[in-house]
Copies of this chain bind each other. A is one copy, B any other.
Amino acid sequence: MTQEDILKNPEKYDLSIETVGKGTLKSPMKGIQFVSEEDRIGLTTDVKRIREFFDKGVTAPSLEAAGPRETIFHDPAWTRAGIVTCGGLCPGLNNVIKGLVQVLWFDYGVRNIFGIPYGYRGLNPQYGYPPITLNPDVVDSIQEDGGTILGSSRGIQEPSVMVDTLMRLNINVLFCIGGDGTLRGAHAIAEEVKKRRQPISIIGIPKTIDNDLNLIDKTFGFETAVLSATDVITSAHNEANGAFNGLGLVKLMGRDSGFIAAYAALATTVVNFCLVPEVPFTLEGLFKALESRYASGKTHAVIAVAEGAGQELFKDQKERRDASGNILKNDIGEFLTEKIKEHFDKVGKEINIKYFDPSYMVRSIPAKGTDAIFCFQLAESAVHAGMAGKTDMVVGSMNGEFTHVPIEYAVNERKKINPNGTLWHAVLGATRQQDYFSGKGKGSK
């Protein structure tokens, strides 16, 4: 189910947000415009499409607008908030944590805020990690460092065990920062909470450096990751230029979608071939395209490949094992490096490949500039939602506005690059790779 699916069959989807109870307390916030429960952000900004809905007597599908509510559910004086970070690192985790603490503390007067250490494990007493007390002093300068001060772990724990812990700690608002798996875990916690009829709000803050969440335009950390990837690509470009028929091959994050590779190609404009999971290619096609480029008089090339690209190429691939007999996983970067070398050896043409795998380097740095602000705004939205008693939801950004999205819809399907859309067209324009794949070989410098 994608955004487009909902726009086509809006009646099938319920985008309303659950609550743990009715907000009856007056918000302590002053001098601020409150958001009403009727404020909703349309899934499309296209007035023509919206008109069609109204013409059919249907309301255009929309998401609840994020923001402070005039009446809230959780009493700040009694609120005990928990924050947990799960999965791989992403720029901005510490900014989100700091934002949550600041808004809870200063805007709502919440004084009991706990950091759950090492992801969902911190909610499983078997690990024995004690919660970390958080306040504005503790988080004062954490945004200067990459990573997460709470630590993280992968995987989820048994929901009933986690809810036991929440109840023992008397936590009534839990903020879960993490990716797909984490959010599914948050949904499971919310379900368990509902079963026990507890007034505990579960609010997700989606983290995916690949920027591939459904119904969400932009996720935190992505902007910084692109910035960081551009430096690697510049290095690859320099290396490629430094040898006759040089080839700089850069593997970037992106298991299911190629957004980082595509954006980095656009931001640098020195990439000649951008390979993403959404657009299949054959080895022969790539070999020909490279030969076509070198034949056209260009003596270098740069390839940016998303880690999830070309997975179909491994089908005929013999299982690779290391000396100990362990199966080696299919790494598209190393695979292409090896295959391209083999091919050029075979046809007796020179090529000088330099392979770059920046891996964790693009994700363990601090969030920068406007990305840092975006983290703060997400945290603000999350706290407002939590204090209002919302639950089983994530905060997101859609058409430039902050929204509430039911967890199940956010994680239901991955957003992907549309090969017929404007983003991919821009990438084709910046790389001119079609000229080489088609053998015309004019291409870009």
List residues of A whose CB falls within 8 A of some B CB. 31-33, 38-42, 45-48, 50-51, 54, 59-60, 62, 65, 67, 89, 98, 102-103, 106-107, 118, 121, 129, 136-137, 140-141, 143-149, 151-153, 217, 223-224, 226-227, 230-232, 234-236, 238-239, 241-244, 246, 263, 266-270, 299, 317-324, 328, 338, 342, 354-361, 364-365, 368-370, 372-373, 376-377, 380, 398-401, 420-422, 425-426, 429-430, 432, 444-445
Whether A235 and B445, one on each chain, are in contact in the complex, defined by CB atoms closer than 8 angstroms, is no
| Chain B residue with the shortest CB-CB distance to A267 | B372
Given contacts A42-B45, A45-B399, A146-B235, contact A31 B89 (CB under 8 A): no
> Contact partner of A223 among B322, B370, B398, CB < 8 A?
B370
Q: Specify which chain B residues have a CB less than 8 angstroms from the CB of A38 in the assembled complex.
A: 48
The answer for the CA separation of A232 and B141 in the assembled complex, in Å, is 17
Whether B373 and A266, one on each chain, are in contact in the complex, defined by CB atoms closer than 8 angstroms, is yes
Given contacts A39-B48, A400-B217, contact A239 B147 (CB under 8 A): yes
The answer for the CA separation of A324 and B321 in the assembled complex, in Å, is 10
Given contacts A364-B238, A369-B267, contact A106 B429 (CB under 8 A): yes
Given contacts A118-B244, A242-B364, A420-B33, contact A234 B46 (CB under 8 A): no
Given contacts A47-B59, A401-B45, contact A227 B364 (CB under 8 A): no
> Contact partner of A234 among B146, B227, B380, B432, CB < 8 A?
B146
Whether A144 and B146, one on each chain, are in contact in the complex, defined by CB atoms closer than 8 angstroms, is no
Whether B370 and A227, one on each chain, are in contact in the complex, defined by CB atoms closer than 8 angstroms, is yes
Whether B239 and A364, one on each chain, are in contact in the complex, defined by CB atoms closer than 8 angstroms, is yes
Q: Work out how many copies of this chain go into the complex.
A: 4
The answer for the CA separation of A421 and B68 in the assembled complex, in Å, is 11
Given contacts A42-B47, A268-B372, 5 further A-B contacts (CB under 8 A): A41-B45, A151-B243, A230-B368, A320-B322, A399-B400
Whether B48 and A40, one on each chain, are in contact in the complex, defined by CB atoms closer than 8 angstroms, is yes
Whether B153 and A243, one on each chain, are in contact in the complex, defined by CB atoms closer than 8 angstroms, is yes
The answer for the CA separation of A357 and B357 in the assembled complex, in Å, is 7
Whether B147 and A238, one on each chain, are in contact in the complex, defined by CB atoms closer than 8 angstroms, is yes
Q: Specify which chain B residues have a CB less than 8 angstroms from the CB of A365 in the assembled complex.
A: 234-235, 238
Q: A371 CB to closest chain B CB, in angstroms?
A: 8
> Contact partner of A42 among B50, B266, B342, CB < 8 A?
B50
The answer for the CA separation of A54 and B57 in the assembled complex, in Å, is 11
Whether A429 and B317, one on each chain, are in contact in the complex, defined by CB atoms closer than 8 angstroms, is no
Q: Specify which chain B residues have a CB less than 8 angstroms from the CB of A46 in the assembled complex.
A: 39-42, 65
Q: A442 CB to closest chain B CB, in angstroms?
A: 9
Given contacts A59-B47, A148-B242, A426-B380, contact A136 B370 (CB under 8 A): no
Q: Specify which chain B residues have a CB less than 8 angstroms from the CB of A59 in the assembled complex.
A: 47, 51
Give me 28 A-to-B residue pairs in the complex whose CB atoms sit less than 8 angstroms apart, sorted by A's number: A31-B425, A33-B420, A40-B48, A42-B42, A47-B59, A136-B444, A147-B238, A147-B239, A149-B241, A152-B243, A223-B369, A226-B369, A231-B361, A232-B361, A235-B361, A263-B370, A266-B372, A268-B372, A319-B323, A320-B322, A321-B323, A323-B328, A356-B360, A376-B426, A380-B422, A398-B400, A399-B401, A400-B400
